[in-house]
Amino acid sequence: MPRVQFEDIIKTYGRVTVLKNLDLEIDDGEFLVLLGPSGCGKTTLLNLLAGLLDVTAGRITIGERDVTDLDPKDRGLAMVFQSYALYPTKTVRGNLKFGLASQKIDGAEVDRRIAWAARMLQIEPLLDRKPAQLSGGQRQRVAIGRALVKKVGLFLFDEPLSNLDAKLRTEMRLEIKKLHDELKSTIVYVTHDQIEAMTMATKIAVMDGGVIQQFGTPDEIYSRPRNLFVAGFIGSPAMNLRAGKITNGGGTVTAALDGVTLDLGRYGFASQPADGQPIVVGLRPEHFGAPGQALADAAGTFSLPVQYTEKTGGDATGYLKFGDGLIAARIDPEQIGRFRQGDTVDVSFPQGKVHVFDAVSGARL
Amino acid sequence: MSVADVSLRRAGEVPVERAPRFPRKPKGISGRSIAIIVFLTICAAFFCVPLYIIITTSFKTMEQVREGAIFSLPAPFTLDAWWSAWDTACSGIRCDGLKVGFWNSMAILFPSLILSIALSSVTGYALALWNVRWANTFLFVLFICAFVPFQIIMIPLIILSSGLKVYGTIWGIAIVHAVLAMPFLTLVFRNYYKGIPQEIMSAAMMDSGSFWRVFVEIILPMSGNILIVVLILQITSIWNDFLLGLTFGGLGTQPMSVVLANVVITTTGEAAYNENMAAALLTAIPPLFIYFVLGKFFVQGITAGAIKG
Amino acid sequence: MALRWSRVSPQLALTPALAITLVAFIGAIAWTIFMSFTRSRRFPEYFFDPAEWSRQYERLFKDDGWAIALKNLLVLGVGSFLAIVFGFILAAMIDREKRGEGFFRTIFLYPLAVSLIVTGVAWRWMFNPSFGLQNALHSIGLTWVNFDWLSRADTAMYGIILATVWQGAGFYMALMLSGLKSINSEIWNAARLDGVSFWRLYIEIIIPMMKFTFLTCAILMSLGVVKAYDIVVAMTNGGPGQATWVPAYFTINAYWVKSNLGYASAAAVIMLAITGLIFLPLVLLTAWRERAREARAT
Ligand SMILES: Nc1ncnc2c1ncn2[C@@H]1O[C@H](COP(=O)(O)OP(=O)(O)O)[C@@H](O)[C@H]1O
Ligand SMILES: [Mg+2]
């Protein structure tokens, strides 16, 4: 199974540079998710790998092969498209077969592969239907089937679930994950949906503005966001980000934000911050302690009035007024009924969960 | 939150500009592209040759035309053929050129434009946006009428227009144009007005409720695009019409295309080919001018004919 | 009860169109059909003899001119089909190679802005045996070329077809191009990834996907062929002899030259019937398309 390597990729459309000196290495068997907001260049990167677009500069290797100048069909990969791109004039079987058109494979083998893929995806009863007679989820399976029959080691997915409803999306997510476990192939999967990324990926590359902002496991991305963009993009409700200043005097480092002082004594700074350095502090809503309960290793405690509360089934968030903005804190849904607008609550935040970023560069300190 | 937004905007890591490690030469044009462009260019030549030939011939003298080198450039270059085509070319027994036909065509064009667009836009509006119970039946009948061959209604229309004393007059031709264009144009307008959101109509109905006021104050100002498309479609089709002008035009009221056909077809003795080509060009210039200036609308107009469900 | 103007105004506004439809279309068609069953000659005769109702039609089908006209209609139809094929090829090429799209489209479409009379006059001049294309080709040594099509009965129709294709190919190109552009771009990408060959892609996928566009083109083309008149007048005026007569020409000739109203009416009725035959698939096509759209929506 192949390893994929992008080296110093530049892609421009006319005078607009969409990908800027991008490097990325995907290990064999990895499930890599390219995650980023719409328009950040994910599809472009995927299409470069597929060979549907030509790079402006850079090198792409799959396994040991430099594929930068190869035709899409010769790169040994298969792709599932956002709109499925099934051939509407052919039956499901025809679609699967047509995907093998360029390869010299004898008929019996073709049939074997179709039967195998159909069984795997449970589309056996659909083989003689036309795409127009299938539901969205079924089309999705056929599109995956068309990629499977090629028996390649590298699969590309471009937002494959974005045309499905929420329930089907969850189902297909599991299914694709299962396929990956069974096939042990390398997958590059594009999405703007962080839930998809977090649940499926073994590695995530967070992209913005044509640059990879962070590359790592879902855990790393969540617990150690490398910069403000990643911090703000990952997590729902989003991380609270507040501007503040470092106070570094006499061996104790603290952060001052809008009247609250956070103890950063045990924060793993990469290098000692300067006194008075402007920073942005990130606090995930889900890491706040229960209201009124003091944590043992608290970095600080906020005593704030409730602006409003929000309950989403098994979860609840309180929005607390802080300075000229709001801070979101996860609150036990059993308890949230007690809080009214204007009530003041005390919530403390654990030291180990604070994120600190340089306010100028946005990089993690 | 506002703080966070501001910081997020500059949060992206922007790499320093540096020279690419794996530069690639810009890809030259591929062989297949060249083949396609060559093919398309040859086809374009096929489409251009007739235009080239009529233009060059129209500027030649008859001596040069008789040499038989049809592709040669005019030498000497002369406008004589254009003048005689405009002023003195003979059609049948009359020898006063295409100018009469030109002014006739102009005189036919304006009343029939106004008549046909007024009639079909109002009809299309009523059918699309007002609850008329038999609207669908009527539309289907119009759909059929739009494709009926002219010959099946020609004779009764001749008899009818003679009865109304408009046969052989400019007005007769103009009215027949408006009548024959009505079914198709009504369908075009109706389809366009069908696309107007129902909410706009509902709001307009509450505010005014008057058929004509809604049309004049709400719908017409929203019809700019379709009016231009229909206008261009009608100008070219009326100008290029031959059959109606031939059938309903009398001596001295024939439109330009009929005069052109007479000039070219009814020649005695040796044909003045340079004059014929100049006459053809004179006739073709107005629609060609519209095509090259307002091409986009022209294309929309002709493809509007390709029935949209 | 007060008069509800909101009910009455639209109906009032529709009366001119309704009157025109009833008189100038339905009434006129009925009148012509009736006339085709009478012995009217120069003037309409309203006497209908049931025993002899079909005499105009019997004459018509014994008339050599009519037989030629029908045969030419078929020839012109088959020939004009070339315009559709040609239009598709042009559209496919333009769509594949985006470079110069605007330029080529403008050139391929301009003949459509020109009247058929002008088109006919231009081509007639190029077919001129002594000064036209033939002479030019002979003078550069290609003496075997015969381009004097219009003056020979067996080739004159081909001359008309060539001019028709020249005039109409751009129209079909425009329709086909918009059809091609409506194909999901991911289909092209999928085909590239699958390594599908050019021919298989077009024959097995693209052309079947465009069946509606092709059918629409074919029907519009056929309706146009039945109406063909101007181009014949401008290029050959029916000649040589009756070699390029078509039904439209025949009908008008029967009325103006033969002064036979009943006969012309019978010919016009046959034209209407042919149009109806072509029209039927159009109605079915529209219904089918509607169904396909609904099926896709669900
Ligand atoms: N063919 C093109 N020409 C010009 N700009 C393009 C083209 N395709 C994409 N872009 C631009 O490149 C950027 C990245 O596009 P894309 O890779 O499709 O984003 P994503 O898939 O992440 O939403 C977008 O800003 C888009 O506008
Ligand atoms: Mg995308």
Could you tell me which residue, A101 or B101, shows the higher pLDDT?
A: B101
Nearest CA in chain C to A104: C195
What is the CB-side half-sphere exposure of residue C270 using CA atoms within 13 A? 21
Distance CA B247, CA B33 (A): 50
Q: Would you call A71 and C196 a contact, using CB atoms and an 8 Å cutoff?
A: no
Q: Hey, whose CA ends up nearest to atom 3 of ligand 1?
A: A13
Q: Hey, whose CA ends up nearest to atom 17 of ligand 1?
A: A41
Residue C38 reports pLDDT greater than 90:
no
Q: Hey, whose CA ends up nearest to atom 25 of ligand 1?
A: A39
> Subunits touching B (CB < 8 Å, at least 3 pairs)?
A, C
Domains detected in chain B: 31-78 (no CATH), 100-303 (1.10.3720.10)
| Percentage of the residues of chain B whose pLDDT score is greater than 70 | 90
Could you tell me which residue, C248 or A340, shows the higher pLDDT?
A: C248
What pairs with residue A16 in β-bridges?
A13
* Residue C290 confidence (pLDDT): 73
C184, C193, C195 member nearest A79 (Cβ): C193
Residue A65 reports pLDDT greater than 80:
yes
The full set of domain ranges for chain C reads 65-256
* Residue A92 confidence (pLDDT): 93
Q: Would you call A101 and C189 a contact, using CB atoms and an 8 Å cutoff?
A: no
Distances in Å between the alpha carbon of C234 and those of B89, C163, C230? Answer: 17, 11, 6
- Which residue do the tokens 């089934």 mark? A313
Residue B122 reports pLDDT greater than 90:
yes
Q: What is the mean pLDDT of residues A301-314?
A: 86
Q: Would you call B13 and A243 a contact, using CB atoms and an 8 Å cutoff?
A: no
Distance CA A131, CA A74 (A): 27
Domain A4-232 CATH superfamily: P-loop containing nucleotide triphosphate hydrolases (3.40.50.300)
pLDDT in tens, A142-152: 999 999 998 88
Domain C65-256 CATH superfamily: MetI-like (1.10.3720.10)
Residue A80 reports pLDDT greater than 90:
yes
Hey, of B13, B18, B29, which one would you mutate to test binding to chain A, going by the most A CBs within 10 A of its CB? Answer: B13
Distance CA C105, CA C176 (A): 12
pTM: 0.87
Nearest ligand to the CA atom of A82: 2
Distance CA C149, CA C154 (A): 8
- Which residue do the tokens 């690639």 mark? B24
Distance CA B45, CA C87 (A): 15
- B276: distance to nearest CA of chain C, Å? 8
Q: Would you call C192 and A73 a contact, using CB atoms and an 8 Å cutoff?
A: yes
* Residue C60 confidence (pLDDT): 87
* Residue B4 confidence (pLDDT): 45
* Residue B284 confidence (pLDDT): 93
Distance CA B50, CA C114 (A): 12
Residue A30 reports pLDDT greater than 70:
yes
pLDDT in tens, C156-196: 999 999 999 999 999 999 999 989 998 988 999 999 998 88
* Residue A48 confidence (pLDDT): 94
B66, B126, B261 member nearest C10 (Cβ): B126
Could you tell me which residue, B1 or C31, shows the higher pLDDT?
A: C31
Provide the CATH topology of domain A240-358: OB fold (Dihydrolipoamide Acetyltransferase, E2P) (2.40.50)
Pick the atom of ligand 1 nearest to A13's CA: 4
pLDDT in tens, C100-128: 888 999 999 999 999 999 999 999 988 88
Alpha helix locations (H) across chain A? 42-50, 92-98, 107-121, 136-148, 166-183, 194-200, 218-223, 228-233
Q: What is the mean pLDDT of residues C63-89?
A: 93
- Which residue do the tokens 């320093």 mark? B16
Q: Would you call B44 and C108 a contact, using CB atoms and an 8 Å cutoff?
A: yes
* Residue B308 confidence (pLDDT): 40
* Residue B6 confidence (pLDDT): 40
Residue C249 reports pLDDT greater than 60:
yes
- C99: distance to nearest CA of chain B, Å? 8
* Residue C145 confidence (pLDDT): 77
Could you tell me which residue, A236 or A185, shows the higher pLDDT?
A: A185
> With contacts defined as CB-CB under 8 Å, which chain A residues touch B27?
54
pLDDT band at B105 (very low <50, low <70, confident <90, very high): very high
The full set of domain ranges for chain A reads 4-232, 240-358
* Residue C297 confidence (pLDDT): 60
Shortest CA distance to C6 belongs to which of B200, B193, B201, B208? B208
* Residue B5 confidence (pLDDT): 45
Q: Give the binding-site residues of ligand 1, using a 6 Å CB cut-off.
A: A 13, 16, 18, 36, 38-44
pLDDT in tens, B174-220: 999 999 999 999 999 998 898 888 888 888 877 777 888 888 888 88
Q: Return the biggest CA–CA distance within chain B.
A: 92
Amino acid at C57: Y
Nearest CA in chain B to C136: B69
Hey, of C25, C88, C151, C227, which one would you mutate to test binding to chain B, going by the most B CBs within 10 A of its CB? Answer: C25
* Residue C296 confidence (pLDDT): 63
Residue C83 reports pLDDT greater than 50:
yes
pLDDT band at C68 (very low <50, low <70, confident <90, very high): very high
- Residue B45's Cα: distance from chain center in Å? 23
pLDDT band at C4 (very low <50, low <70, confident <90, very high): low
> With contacts defined as CB-CB under 8 Å, which chain C residues touch A78?
193
Task: Please give the distance, rounded to the nearest whole angstrom, from the Cα atom of residue A43 to the centre of ligand 1.
Answer: 7
In sequence order, which residues have a C-beta less than 8 Å from that of residue B257 and are 6 or more positions away? Answer: B101, B105, B239, B240, B241, B242, B245, B283, C115, C117, C118, C230
Q: What is the mean pLDDT of residues A165-179?
A: 89
Q: What is the mean pLDDT of residues B73-77?
A: 85
Q: Do the beta carbons of residue C128 and residue C138 sit within 8 Å?
A: no
pLDDT band at A1 (very low <50, low <70, confident <90, very high): low
Q: What is the mean pLDDT of residues A37-60?
A: 92
Residue A231 reports pLDDT greater than 70:
yes
* Residue B17 confidence (pLDDT): 62
pLDDT in tens, C216-225: 888 889 888 9
